[in-house]
Amino acid sequence: MMTLTPAERRALKARAHHLQPVVMIGDAGLTPAVLREINVALTSHELIKIRVLGDDRAARSGIIDTVCTELDAAPVQGIGKILVIFRPRPADTGTKTVKAGTKKKAGSRGPRRTKRSFQMA
């Protein structure tokens, strides 16, 4: 499980404020399928919210501990039934670069021109 400094945690809380929950944990609890979905969401977003449907406070704290240890993530915040989890993206999943001298796709024409750009020319 990763650890965060208070300054990092504060910055991540601010980033997570406007996010919507991407994973919901229902009555079945934390199943392997749910763990897989959380892993996929963390890989693509790195900061996610999880909604836990259930009233047991101890179960929610157990869920966030299990998720963070299994997926090597850091707990950011847990308010009510919403959990916020962070895991940095792996370095090898960068954007693909196009080599010089290669052809573009047939449908690639560059940026779209707006009505104003035609009027000004």
What is the value of pTM for the model shown? 0.73
Name the residue with higher pLDDT: 44 or 93: 44
Spell out the domain ranges in the chain.
6-86
> What pLDDT digit, counting tens, does each position of 30-71 carry?
999 999 999 999 999 999 999 999 889 999 999 999 999 999
Phi-psi region of 59 (alpha: psi -120 to 50; beta: other; left: phi over 0): alpha
97, pLDDT greater than 70? no
> How do the residues of the chain divide into helix, strand and coil, expressed in percent and rounded to 5?
40, 15, 45
What is d(CA 55, CA 66) in angstroms, rounded to the nearest whole number?
A: 18
Percentage, residues of the chain above pLDDT 90:
66
| 6-86 CATH pick, 3.30.110.60, 3.10.20.600, 3.10.20.520, 3.40.50.150 | 3.30.110.60
